[in-house]
Amino acid sequence: MRQIRRTQDDIVAVNRDGIGWHDITNDAPFDRFSRWSPNGKKIAFASDRSGEYEIWICESDGTNLRQITFTTSIPDTIQSGTSFPVWSPDGQRMTFYTGEDSFIIDLNKGWNEQIPIKLPRNEKGNVFAVWDWSPDGKKLAGRFIGENTTGVYSFETKSLTRIVGGENALPAWLSDSRRIIYSQNNKIYLADTETKKTNELLTIDPEKPRSPFISRDGKLLYYVAHLNKSDIFLLEAQPIQ
């Protein structure tokens, strides 16, 4: 979970009942997009602590912090903010997004021991930014940047497929590796990636749900509740002496 403080963004952990908050990071760098490893022992996140946003990993208590991507070394890649770390279900691989393309790396190898695998763009040249990896390991769900469309990449067919449209809709897999959930405005939807049929799951007012996910046991739906608020202040102007 991301904790926004006055001058920094940090990673915190909390129990499912909402108690037991504790810091994973608490320092000046901005740490974002945290993801638990499948075995719950590690956390991956994007951080600018090296001067540029890269992917870092630490143990679940914040120890053994290390940088795992060095994307400025990828040929023909302009660094624009590496983010969105997504673990494979077996914890052996990871996808990330550079702002230009999405890549896959082998976590059993060091950065200099491999060449990151670049995922294809769609027929319009739009980048596929991965948001979740299917539990069966065969597909990726994400968004086509620049066209407000959710899609799926299949490792078996090596192809991209559009599923549904929707501004800022970020898809997450259900345990059947066929259906996804996503939010749009103040609703959460369920979509079948094979039939492309959608169903509304719930409406949330006045908040707007963001980034819905299903727990690994398939029993809980959780999301971020977003609500815009503002205050009006009155200042009395003093004449300049």
Residue range 17-73, pLDDT digits in tens? 888 888 888 888 899 999 999 999 999 999 999 989 999 999 999 999 999 999 887
**Residues 64-85, mean pLDDT to the nearest whole number:** 83
Domain ranges of the chain: 2-172
CB 212 within 8 A of CB 225: no
Q: What is the pLDDT of residue 57?
A: 97
What's the pLDDT at 78?
A: 60
Return d(Cα 226, Cα 240) in angstroms, integer. Answer: 42
Class level of CATH domain 2-172: mainly beta
**Can you give the pLDDT at residue 18?**
80
Match 């770390």 to its residue by tokens: 85
Contact 138, 155 (CB under 8 A): yes
102-130 pLDDT tens trace: 999 999 999 999 999 999 999 999 999 99
Which of the residue ranges 16-20, 95-99, 122-126, 146-150 would you say has the lowest mean pLDDT? 16-20
Residue 5 has pLDDT above 60, yes or no: no
Q: Are the C-beta atoms of residues 87 and 133 closer than 8 Å to each other?
A: yes
pLDDT-based confidence at residue 225 (cuts at 50, 70, 90): confident
Residues pairing with 183 in the sheet: 188
